[in-house]
Structure 1
């Protein structure tokens, strides 16, 4: 069915969310609220210990602190509004608030893609060139690397958001949980070729290039580890990059699943697909930020020790 050939200024958008599944709304409200609190607690503690513990003032933990701050920003830009939408019968958001949400979510996702690539380079230098690590990954190097990740993600998001909000829209009903750029583009009444082309270029920059860079880095990392003569040395080397590798697999694996899954043709399958199209990005936006601090601290003795010291210091001061 073709879109109606009319448009009018949009003051607000109506977000459908899971309104067709009222029972799911109640269940997901409780579940997502609990997960959001875990995200704030886990990532907040990780940021705190990387700042307060001098032993964690290294490039790896600096990047990790940035990743935790990014995850808090990413979830806070959307989850409170999603939770509010689960409770209110009329789920509306102003045009300006929708634009801000689009910008923040896209900027945080793009920044994380670049940041994971930077972290892969850090692990590559640490394992493949350990003697040069203090020189290559000096503060004068890793701070600009992190700043550039934020700058690249923010710039790309500003471009896409500005291109999107200038479009004329044929309606204001968003069939999604949040103001997501791809969902907004479906409402456009005009040709969106420029948006599609720019989105394709962005996918290459934020998905293709980092994945290629990370893959090449891990080829060299694995080759170096396999040449280590002692089993203990190999185990130690693997442990230094296993957390990052796990996060990369989950992060990019979810993205690939989101954009590569086949489309259903029958109506029942389409309904299920419509639900999955909303829940999979929710998994991407909530579960991954919740898992990141757990993965990075579960087998990390330095982080565990820093948390224990922080708790002991807090108890002592009280």
Structure 2
């Protein structure tokens, strides 16, 4: 227990990126702009779904839950990235480091489960249209959304607690936030057993959901191909295309980072790939779900018209 207490009393150093000169302020401004646009884009979706009754469907409810999750997900890591851009290698108390590790992985696993639920929603809408509203009632939507958060925050307890109890001999984390592989490289002991446990927990969470999503989309594909007209097939596919794009982005980066041994990759690659799933994906999600989306455009028009009427007065 002595090394556990020592871990929680020490301070780590987040190395960040080794940029110098004019690149550093430019990187800071670029990251800040993407961060603010990410917050604005996800808040826009949440407010729009709440404000417009035309978007009061299960699909848009789950999209708004995803946007809420992305707000927290991006805020877990980007402030420390901005700090390292400004000040270079930055100290972080171990308590904050392990908390960041836990929250980041909790939100990541929650998103994993939520993407599975969203695939189930599309499957029921396309393959069970007559029973869809009964099967996906408001109570079921709330239960499913809540279950994803409980499952995500429960599953992340295992890798986070195992990592927090390791004895650490080194302080400098070769990353811009506290993640599993960079922390495990600092341990004084062999972490191969911990890596296997982490791989099993994260692998089950991501792998099982990925198999579920593939299976559900297999069912959707079979149902869509049976539709009589090309127009109806195109309409059915259009309701799934945004979700499939988000799933591809999420799983491509997650599998790259978390499948395999943490020691099998070059140290610098983790933080570069992390920019994709921790910063770029939350930024792109609102764009993916709103771009060329006729229902969202119509909802924006309705809300704008209502606002104009209110501002114009009686």
Same fold (TM over 0.5): yes
More deviation, 190-199/227-236: 190-199
User: Compared with structure 1, are the counterparts of its residues 223 and 12 closer, same or farther at alpha carbon in structure 2 (3 Å cutoff)?
Assistant: same
SS of structure 2 residue aligned to 1:131: coil
User: Compared with structure 1, are the counterparts of its residues 24 and 260 closer, same or farther at alpha carbon in structure 2 (3 Å cutoff)?
Assistant: farther
Q: CA deviation at 1:291?
A: 0.9
Q: Match of 1:3?
A: none
User: Compared with structure 1, are the counterparts of its residues 315 and 189 closer, same or farther at alpha carbon in structure 2 (3 Å cutoff)?
Assistant: farther
Q: Match of 1:252?
A: 251
Q: Match of 1:119?
A: 118
Take 2:290 and 2:96, find their aligned partners in 1: how far apart are those partners? 35
Take 2:39 and 2:95, find their aligned partners in 1: how far apart are those partners? 26
Take 1:261 and 1:111, find their aligned partners in 2: how far apart are those partners? 21
SS of structure 1 residue aligned to 2:131: helix
- Listed as ranges, the gaps of 5+ residues in structure 1 are 1-6
User: Compared with structure 1, are the counterparts of its residues 22 and 105 closer, same or farther at alpha carbon in structure 2 (3 Å cutoff)?
Assistant: farther
User: Compared with structure 1, are the counterparts of its residues 261 and 180 closer, same or farther at alpha carbon in structure 2 (3 Å cutoff)?
Assistant: closer
Q: CA deviation at 1:51?
A: 1.3
SS of structure 2 residue aligned to 1:299: coil
Take 1:13 and 1:23, find their aligned partners in 2: how far apart are those partners? 27
Kindly provide the CA deviation profile for residues 71-107 of structure 1, in whole angstroms up to 9, marking residues without a partner as x.
1100111101210111114511111111221111101
Take 1:188 and 1:41, find their aligned partners in 2: how far apart are those partners? 39
Contact 2:185/2:263, CA 8 A, preserved across alignment: no
Q: CA deviation at 1:277?
A: 2.7
Q: CA deviation at 1:260?
A: 6.6
Q: Match of 1:19?
A: 18
Q: CA deviation at 1:23?
A: 4.9
Contact 2:181/2:263, CA 8 A, preserved across alignment: no
- Listed as ranges, the gaps of 5+ residues in structure 2 are none
Q: Match of 1:281?
A: 274
Contact 2:182/2:267, CA 8 A, preserved across alignment: no
Take 2:258 and 2:72, find their aligned partners in 1: how far apart are those partners? 24
Take 1:193 and 1:77, find their aligned partners in 2: how far apart are those partners? 27
Q: Match of 2:27?
A: 28
Q: Match of 2:285?
A: 292
Q: What does residue range 62-211 of structure 1 map to in structure 2 within 5 Å?
A: 62-211=61-210
User: Compared with structure 1, are the counterparts of its residues 302 and 17 closer, same or farther at alpha carbon in structure 2 (3 Å cutoff)?
Assistant: same
Q: Match of 1:309?
A: 302
Q: CA deviation at 1:188?
A: 1.5
What is the TM-score with the length of structure 2 in the denominator?
A: 0.90
More deviation, 17-26/242-251: 17-26
SS of structure 1 residue aligned to 2:227: coil
User: Compared with structure 1, are the counterparts of its residues 132 and 264 closer, same or farther at alpha carbon in structure 2 (3 Å cutoff)?
Assistant: closer
Take 1:163 and 1:261, find their aligned partners in 2: how far apart are those partners? 18
